[in-house]
Structure 1
Amino acid sequence: MIWLGRRQLGGQLKALSWGLVNQLSVAALPLGVGLAVQAVADGSGSRLAWATALILLLGAAIALGEGMVHRATTTNWTTAATRIQQLLSRRTAELGAVLTRRVAAGEVMAVSAADVEKVGWFVEVLSRFTAAATALVAICTGLVLYQPDLGIVVALGIPVIALASLPLLPAASRRADRQRERAGYATELASDTVAGLRVLRGIGGEELFLARYRAASQEVRGAAVRSARTWALVGMVNVILPGLLLLAVVVHGASLAQDGRIAVGELVTVYSAVLLTQHPLRNFSELALAYSYSKPSARRTARVLALRRTEEGPAPRIGRPEGNPTGDLYDPVSGVRAAQGELTAVVSGDPDTAGALAERLGGHPVDPAPDHASVLVGGVPLDELPLERARATVLVQDKEPVLLSGTLGELLGVPASGRVAAGAALRAAYCDDVLDALGRSEGGGDDPMAGVITERGRSLSGGQRQRLALARSLVTDPEVLVLDEPTSAVDAHTESRIAAGLKELRTGRTTVVLTASPLLLDTADRVLLIHGGTVTAAGTHRELLRDDARYRALVTRGDTDGAGDQDGPARSAALATTEECR
């Protein structure tokens, strides 16, 4: 919020200036009314004309100030919310898939959708509050000078009214925090339920999650009611106390008028001024409400914005070349080394271990501890590179890549080296049937590149989505390409074609494939077996089939128990399976 204040100082000053025009004009209006009443009482037409002109002038200033301050404060609100959303988008793009490993997706959605609005609200109210506070000081000072007997009463009463609700704010803030917390949890639960709806229907868990969401929704309702009760009490205080002050001014003023100590016009002026103080006083309660809502929202937003790819890492080295690093890809945690220009396959029996390795190879370690060992590319720590250079050096395709809606041409129009054409990437990923389907789709015509891909590629099969994602990765042509199970959703025939296309297209470029498919493994220059998080065996696919029982069990979906007694038959069966698929 301090950062926003510095960035929007000009907007705040503009809103403050117009707010002062509006509030001070409102504060001066009772003077014109009092002069007009006194002119009528004295039968002075000239003074009545001057008072009327003053009222008209103040009315015009009030209208102009009200319109311009609304314009300025709304600009401040939307600008603050947009700036925070820009920061959130940049942080999301920087963290990638690591974001949801550290913060729930529902919380990120709540921050982006609701919390930024609350912070923007506080930014919008701040300038109006400052103008209102200045107007109240001017009113109290002017009344003390204009009519000391009544002005002192007003000057003592206004601060009491303005500060009376302060003791209630801590409880109101706590209840507002609780409401926001429960609302964030309900949003997160709803998001996760919708994302997994297909799975829930398959296992019959819809009613269970519906009951959970119903309970969470009721907790939100209860928290909202308790919060509203507290704010209703604050509102009651802000209505009763100004009413009591107005009553005191009327009673005391009437007594002074009967004694002849003040004129009727002066009494009307003071009465009108006290009546109109309720307008700027409302800004005090609104500021308190905005602060109590925006503080937890700002805290949640700052927590998301504080996330980094890694924690404090080693200091950057001096004299590093500006180009993207080249050389072997090495992970000191697992011992995985992918030689430059070769296709390296990694086999692991634990999908979580493989997923964590893929994240780590992309410079997004699941555990961002300060003492973690960074992945090296040609001896250069990937974590030390600026994000743009790190992304251009290593690209990781997740096990379940996402396709955005749009045309095929837009899908493949990603930042790339320019060395791989879209057609070559599509052929290597064996997307012939996908092109046919897109060519027949609405808007496709004779050009498949104009075919429309629906949101997340829902109009395509799982295998077609997977192959399009692979083509997109191949088009980028990064120095190092990491593929996590890129053919898990395709048949053996298609997988064989993809393996050959991948080998041909990535010749001379470093490629790492995390897979247990014999077809992909057989095309790899080198295969690494991971067990217990580290590399335990290395060689070609056929060498490991022959010499390593654990590798043979993983690839053939067999059991390591007793594998030594059946080395010959198991090895022959695995090789036969590979040849049959080819």
Structure 2
Amino acid sequence: MQIRDLPYADPGVADARSGPRFLLWLGRNQLGGQLKALAWGLLHFCGVAGLPLGVGRAVQAVVDRSGSALALAGALIILCGVAITLGDTMLHRTAVTNWITAAARVQQLLARKAAELGAALTRRVAAGEVVAVSTGDVEKIGWFVEALSRFAAAAITVVLVCVGLVLYVPELGVVVAVGVPVLALAVLPLLPRATRRADVQREKAGRATELASDTVAGLRVLRGIGGEELFLGRYRQASQEVRRAAVRSARMWALISAVQVLLPGLLLITVVWYGAGLAQDGRIEVGELVTVFSAVTLLMYPLRHFEEIAMAYSFSRPSAKRAARVLALRRTTEPSGVEYGRPSGDLYDPATGVLAPSGRFTAVVCGDPDAAGLLAERLGGHPAADPDGAASVLLGGVPLDELALDEARAAVLVQDKDPVLLSGTLQELLDVPSSGKVSAEDALKAAQCGDVLDALAQASVDTDGDGDGDPMRTRITERGRSLSGGQRQRLALARSLVTDPEVLVLDEPTSAVDSHTEARIAAGVKELRAGRTTVVFASSPLLLDRADRVVFVHDGDVAAVGVHRELLHGNAEYRAVVTRETEEEQLDGITAIGELAVLEEIEESA
């Protein structure tokens, strides 16, 4: 796999049973890249390990005054230099490729999971945790995958050098062969404690990220209620806990590094002291002593990768655990695999009894806004929003849960009460998968976006002196921050209308506009969606009066069905929700009469 081939056509199905299993699955799926990195790593480390032999041969050739032996030693050193250069260059390329491709695979898996679960994802996993997994955790997981092949090459090289020294200089080679494994394994007793401290640090950092993400998401609300200082204090406390945990973790890793310096130094002193005695007694040659000394010195380089892989694993394991937890989330009911085709007909929810007849404009009124949002998502076929044990929503008698995800999404589109606008031009915003039967112009007209188009055209002229003032080519900033709340809401509604789904579910689509604009939007949507099933969750009389059918849901069940004006006169609970009247007003019906007068006035003005 090369970087130019990204993204993956299919990132695969991850083994999300645990963090270590997920890491193993990632390494297995990049076996080709790992083998390449291993081969180049062996070339590089063997070149490094070959230098002591060349240096020792050169020293011995000078002692023996042999020109030919010195030339051969020089050739060997040059060959090792070429191997080191080529191996290091290609090892870096392949290792970085492994890191990037592993990170890209994880990000694709997370994006696919987010698309599968939709808005239900953040109710099952904290939004901050999703952010932490898709940013910092991806980097740490990629680090472990990248370091794995270099560690394997270093470990093989250490074994080969130890075996080679035993065969070349048995007297000193045995000392090295016994001492090097001790160096490699000496830090093992310290690793569990270091890993635990690293886990604590990662956990606290994840909590701080979640707190920061949630605070930023609700910043406007916090400013409105004066809660900025409270949350700022909480974040300061969380960040200080992260700092203290990081210091404790760093102390342990510093101790491990100190052990990695102390023990090799002791081994080097032992080799020099013992080897000098052997050379003095004539049992080994000076060149052989230089070879062993140089080999032990250079072995410190590959031995560092033992510490690196331990650090990489300790940091990536909690990250992989969090990623696996997100990737393990599933739709409550998997598609049955039965080919239903594109379903059509009445939309019916067995759990609440809500029925939206095919081709009709149905309004749903709920006293609890949160319950309305959950019911809207349930009607859209999001099983994560289902009550325990509730049957699936039916479209034309077909359970939405048994449809493939793309078919369910194409059949029913849900626009929640806080839709997001991505950055780009208005033309790009409205360039969405659709039936092709509704043009962008008709959708914008139905959503009453005339003043929005004028504002975008003016912005195009102001920002670009030679611009043609075409609103469709005017760029919209991220989340539509340059627009008002009502303008963003209407553009999002126009985008939903362009898709022209079989069933369109709208949750409070006009909460940010004035009453006259709301009345015109209700009329425009009803006209544009004629013959198509539309469900609107609202409590505004202006929308409810345009509906062909109004369903009143109370305490999770359908309490009344009819048209708005009949329910307004005949159902006290419905009237209380829609008009927000007091108990005294409920007794005399004054608010209801006033509401009807307003409706008639708006109808006349429209």
Task: Name the TM tier (shorter chain).
Answer: over 0.9
Q: SS state of the match for residue 553, structure 2?
A: strand
Q: Provide the C-alpha distance between the structure 1 equivalents of 2:201 and 2:286, rounded to a whole number of angstroms.
A: 51
Matched, 1:154 2:176: yes
Matched with 2:12 is none
407, 410, 414: which is aligned to 1:392? 410
Matched with 1:109 is 131
Q: Deviations over 1:283-331 (max 9, x none)?
A: 10000000000100000011111122x23x377164x33x321111111
Q: Deviations over 1:321-355 (max 9, x none)?
A: 3x321111111111111011101100111101101
188, 201, 204: which is aligned to 2:226? 204
Q: How many positions carry a matched residue from both structures?
A: 576
Consecutive unaligned residues in structure 2, runs of 5 or more: 1-22
Matched, 1:411 2:429: yes
Q: Provide the C-alpha distance between the structure 1 equivalents of 2:299 and 2:185, rounded to a whole number of angstroms.
A: 14
How far residue 94 of structure 1 moved from its aligned partner, in angstroms, is 2.0
Q: Provide the C-alpha distance between the structure 2 equivalents of 1:572 and 1:123, rounded to a whole number of angstroms.
A: 70
The one-letter code sitting in structure 1 at the alignment partner of 2:442 is: A
How far residue 175 of structure 1 moved from its aligned partner, in angstroms, is 0.7
Q: CA contact under 8 A between 2:375 and 2:385: conserved in structure 1?
A: no
Matched, 1:34 2:56: yes
The farther-off stretch of 100-109 and 532-541 is 100-109
Q: TM-score with structure 1 length normalisation?
A: 0.96
Q: Deviations over 1:41-93 (max 9, x none)?
A: 01111111111111111111111111110111011011101111111111112
The one-letter code sitting in structure 1 at the alignment partner of 2:582 is: D
448, 466, 486: which is aligned to 2:489? 466
448, 451, 457: which is aligned to 1:433? 451
- Superposed counterparts of 1:257-406, under 5 Å: 257-308=279-330, 310-311=331-332, 313=333, 316=336, 318=338, 320-321=339-340, 323-367=341-385, 371-406=389-424
Q: CA contact under 8 A between 2:506 and 2:535: conserved in structure 1?
A: yes
Matched, 1:496 2:540: no
Q: Deviations over 1:230-271 (max 9, x none)?
A: 000110111111111111111111111111111111111111
Q: Deviations over 1:187-232 (max 9, x none)?
A: 1111222222222222222211111111111101000000000000
How far residue 573 of structure 1 moved from its aligned partner, in angstroms, is 2.7
Matched with 1:558 is 581
The one-letter code sitting in structure 2 at the alignment partner of 1:324 is: R
Q: CA contact under 8 A between 2:383 and 2:401: conserved in structure 1?
A: no
Q: Deviations over 1:393-446 (max 9, x none)?
A: 111111111111111111111111100000000111111101100111135633
Q: Provide the C-alpha distance between the structure 2 equivalents of 1:91 and 1:560, rounded to a whole number of angstroms.
A: 48
Q: Provide the C-alpha distance between the structure 2 equivalents of 1:432 and 1:172, rounded to a whole number of angstroms.
A: 62
The one-letter code sitting in structure 1 at the alignment partner of 2:277 is: S
Q: Provide the C-alpha distance between the structure 2 equivalents of 1:571 and 1:279, rounded to a whole number of angstroms.
A: 84
Distance 1:63 1:315, change over 3 A: closer
Consecutive unaligned residues in structure 1, runs of 5 or more: none
- Superposed counterparts of 1:467-482, under 5 Å: 467-482=490-505
Q: Provide the C-alpha distance between the structure 2 equivalents of 1:349 and 1:573, rounded to a whole number of angstroms.
A: 21
Matched, 1:547 2:567: no
Q: Provide the C-alpha distance between the structure 1 equivalents of 2:386 and 2:451, rounded to a whole number of angstroms.
A: 42
232, 235, 253: which is aligned to 2:275? 253
The one-letter code sitting in structure 1 at the alignment partner of 2:35 is: L
Distance 1:314 1:157, change over 3 A: closer
Q: Provide the C-alpha distance between the structure 1 equivalents of 2:184 and 2:233, rounded to a whole number of angstroms.
A: 45
Matched with 2:600 is 579
Q: Provide the C-alpha distance between the structure 1 equivalents of 2:407 and 2:128, rounded to a whole number of angstroms.
A: 30
Q: CA contact under 8 A between 1:5 and 1:123: conserved in structure 2?
A: yes
Q: Provide the C-alpha distance between the structure 1 equivalents of 2:80 and 2:305, rounded to a whole number of angstroms.
A: 21
Q: Provide the C-alpha distance between the structure 1 equivalents of 2:423 and 2:337, rounded to a whole number of angstroms.
A: 41
CA RMSD in angstroms, aligned pairs only = 1.5
How far residue 560 of structure 1 moved from its aligned partner, in angstroms, is 5.3
Q: CA contact under 8 A between 1:549 and 1:560: conserved in structure 2?
A: no
Q: CA contact under 8 A between 2:337 and 2:403: conserved in structure 1?
A: no
Distance 1:83 1:368, change over 3 A: farther
Q: SS state of the match for residue 535, structure 1?
A: strand
How far residue 135 of structure 1 moved from its aligned partner, in angstroms, is 0.6
Q: Provide the C-alpha distance between the structure 2 equivalents of 1:441 and 1:409, rounded to a whole number of angstroms.
A: 15
Matched with 2:7 is none
Q: Provide the C-alpha distance between the structure 2 equivalents of 1:550 and 1:349, rounded to a whole number of angstroms.
A: 9
Q: Provide the C-alpha distance between the structure 2 equivalents of 1:445 and 1:454, rounded to a whole number of angstroms.
A: 19
Q: Provide the C-alpha distance between the structure 1 equivalents of 2:224 and 2:564, rounded to a whole number of angstroms.
A: 37
256, 260, 265: which is aligned to 1:238? 260
How far residue 450 of structure 1 moved from its aligned partner, in angstroms, is 1.0
Q: Provide the C-alpha distance between the structure 1 equivalents of 2:335 and 2:599, rounded to a whole number of angstroms.
A: 48
Q: Provide the C-alpha distance between the structure 2 equivalents of 1:226 and 1:164, rounded to a whole number of angstroms.
A: 21
Q: Provide the C-alpha distance between the structure 1 equivalents of 2:572 and 2:193, rounded to a whole number of angstroms.
A: 66
How far residue 365 of structure 1 moved from its aligned partner, in angstroms, is 3.8
Q: TM-score with structure 2 length normalisation?
A: 0.93
The one-letter code sitting in structure 2 at the alignment partner of 1:357 is: L
Q: CA contact under 8 A between 1:176 and 1:292: conserved in structure 2?
A: yes
Q: CA contact under 8 A between 1:197 and 1:206: conserved in structure 2?
A: yes
The one-letter code sitting in structure 1 at the alignment partner of 2:497 is: L
Q: Provide the C-alpha distance between the structure 1 equivalents of 2:250 and 2:94, rounded to a whole number of angstroms.
A: 29
How far residue 370 of structure 1 moved from its aligned partner, in angstroms, is 7.1
Q: Provide the C-alpha distance between the structure 2 equivalents of 1:350 and 1:369, rounded to a whole number of angstroms.
A: 16
The farther-off stretch of 69-78 and 551-560 is 551-560
Matched, 1:486 2:509: yes
Q: Provide the C-alpha distance between the structure 1 equivalents of 2:404 and 2:337, rounded to a whole number of angstroms.
A: 12
Q: Provide the C-alpha distance between the structure 2 equivalents of 1:546 and 1:217, rounded to a whole number of angstroms.
A: 57
Q: SS state of the match for residue 428, structure 2?
A: helix
The farther-off stretch of 223-232 and 104-113 is 104-113
Q: SS state of the match for residue 143, structure 2?
A: helix
Matched, 1:84 2:106: yes
Q: Provide the C-alpha distance between the structure 1 equivalents of 2:90 and 2:515, rounded to a whole number of angstroms.
A: 68
Q: SS state of the match for residue 396, structure 1?
A: strand
Q: Deviations over 1:112-153 (max 9, x none)?
A: 111011111011111111111111111111111111111111
Q: SS state of the match for residue 420, structure 1?
A: coil
Matched with 1:65 is 87
Q: Provide the C-alpha distance between the structure 1 equivalents of 2:435 and 2:283, rounded to a whole number of angstroms.
A: 89
Distance 1:109 1:324, change over 3 A: same
Q: Provide the C-alpha distance between the structure 2 equivalents of 1:446 and 1:151, rounded to a whole number of angstroms.
A: 81
Q: Provide the C-alpha distance between the structure 1 equivalents of 2:551 and 2:33, rounded to a whole number of angstroms.
A: 59
Matched with 2:18 is none
